[in-house]
Amino acid sequence: MVPHAELLRRLRGPRGSFTPDADCDLVPGSVIVHPGASHGARRWPVERFAAVAGRLAAQGNQVLITGTEAERVLAQRLVGLAGLAPEAMLAGRTGLWQLACLIAGAKLVVCGDTGIAHLATAYRTPSVVLFGPVPPRLWGPPTGSCHVALWQGRRGNTFAAEPDPGLLALSPGRVIEAAEELLLEASRSEAE
């Protein structure tokens, strides 16, 4: 685990972004929580993401919160609610390359049905992806892989402003259970 002070040192650069020579081992083994999505229908409540992030951090995982510049306020709120160190907030501080590097080196990604889920799939980084209005069979990770797609089985409007009722039916407990199962599976694989 990279100490937060070291993470901040590595983050320093123009306007607080990663330096161009950052490599994919910047923060290996972190848990990435990404609360944002382009539309409200696919945005799980920040309080629920905070419950997940807080629980995973309490278990000794280094939890980092990602997002776009426009999602900084959301990410900062999540950090505060989860009781994470301010340095865990990376929203708006990474470009696409650095975000891809973080995902490639992570041990787990927890996110909604959004672009970062596709990065986790591409890098084979274990992920828990929360689906609301769209079934995972359309946009989700392959079944039988190191990804868990949670969906309540009902379709809705993916472009709606408010969270989809199916997405709201997913409890933090269910997400935590899926995340813990993937982390346990990963630690068993490392031990072998």
Q: Is 118 helix (H, G, I), strand (E, B) or coil?
A: helix
Report pLDDT for 19: 42
What DSSP string describes 54-90? HHHHHTT--EEE---GGGHHHHHHHHHHHT--GGGB-
What's the mean per-residue pLDDT of the chain?
Answer: 85
Residue count of the chain, please give it: 192
Q: Tell me the domains of the chain and their CATH numbers.
A: 31-162 (3.40.50.2000)
Per residue of the chain (192 residues), what is the pLDDT tens digit? Answer: 444 445 444 544 444 444 434 444 456 789 999 999 999 889 999 999 999 999 999 999 999 999 999 999 999 999 999 999 999 999 999 888 889 999 999 999 999 999 999 999 999 999 999 998 888 887 767 766 788 999 988 888 889 999 999 999 999 999 999 999 999 988 877 777
Label residue 40 exposed, middle or buried (CB < 10 Å: 0-12, 13-18, 19+): middle
Beta partners for 34?
111
Q: Listing from the earlier edge strand, what are the strands of the sheet with 31-34?
A: 63-65, 31-34, 108-112, 127-130, 147-150
Rounded CA-CA distance 80/84 in Å is 6
Handedness of CA 33, 114, 39, 14 (dihedral sign): positive
CA atoms in the 13 A half-sphere facing the CB of 161 = 0
Rounded CA-CA distance 103/101 in Å is 5
